[in-house]
Structure 1
């Protein structure tokens, strides 16, 4: 149960406890978490993860429609996401190249070709801006991990993007605050 402490402040001093005591403590922390962060179970959760994964890395599992931010010591934060649609998929390694708050959006050529009615630029914070509250750009052309507009929230959990990874705004804000520029990103089909 060491991972509970790593995510909470202040640090908790460990003592030997019975299995029943641990069960009560875990249940109490889950209930307290649900009260303090009512949407955390719906949007993101702390999960066990490969201990060999580097802390600070982002692992995207397309089939699971999940993005994992590796905290370390075999623990990650799992976020629900929308992944690229058929024909726009990609896999492999990348790195975080930039972080932007309320970014403007210019449709890439492939999006503009499919949707010529789109303006050349949509200002950050505008209702129709598909980037949402934050954008974490990758060192791949026109690819970002970003929030979503109100209209597109329903796309989370589907294959819907032109190559980007789409998250709920509250989740991308949380990830934005945790990830650093240069962090490794791995997309697994």
Structure 2
């Protein structure tokens, strides 16, 4: 008879664990098959047309993330490397963004709710581009940026811990 109160306390906790452990459909990273042998394990592959980012793993597998990519005529293709990693980065609009949105402040501090970089960013060697989080999760899966790759904040946190400086990044059409 004494075990009944324990079970009554345990069941709600198990339910909460299941609720929080369940992946979010459509945005959570997933392990998938990846048989494109052009890319070595550890390479980040962005497929703009799919709006997906792949972290290539051993054994013909990859972790796939849903991302936002550059809008028409802004998406980049080619090769780069991660040059730096930042948690809660500040953001300054580029000259191009400033032309389109002249009322933006010069700097938005990291951690601010209006900071478009989200919780983390990794800059790339190809110019003013980065792979970063976002303060607009509804943009994920769309072509909306000025060339950066946006990820859900929980996904950039995951990728951030898996890769380092000089990680190769390849963006395909």
Fold agreement, TM-score > 0.5: yes
**Ranges in structure 2 where 5+ consecutive residues have no aligned partner:** 1-17
TM-score normalised per structure 2: 0.85
Which residue does the alignment assign to 1:188?
172
1:19-72, CA deviations, whole angstroms, 9 ceiling, x for partnerless residues?
xxxxxxxxxxxxxxx766312553110000026221110000011110001122
The question of 1:98 aligning with 2:89 is answered: no
CA distance in 2, matches of 1:37, 1:91: 35
Distance 1:40 1:179, change over 3 A: farther
Which residue does the alignment assign to 1:30?
none
**Ranges in structure 1 where 5+ consecutive residues have no aligned partner:** 1-33
The question of 1:59 aligning with 2:45 is answered: yes
Which residue does the alignment assign to 1:6?
none
Aligned with residue 160 of structure 1, among 119, 124, 144: 144
2:118 is paired with a residue whose SS is coil
Distance 1:51 1:62, change over 3 A: closer
Q: How many residues align?
A: 155
The question of 1:132 aligning with 2:93 is answered: no
Q: Which has the higher helix share?
A: 1
Q: Which runs of 4+ in 1 moved over 6 A?
A: none
Mapped contact 2:132–2:148 kept (Cα < 8 A): yes
| Structure exhibiting the larger radius of gyration computed from Cα positions | 2
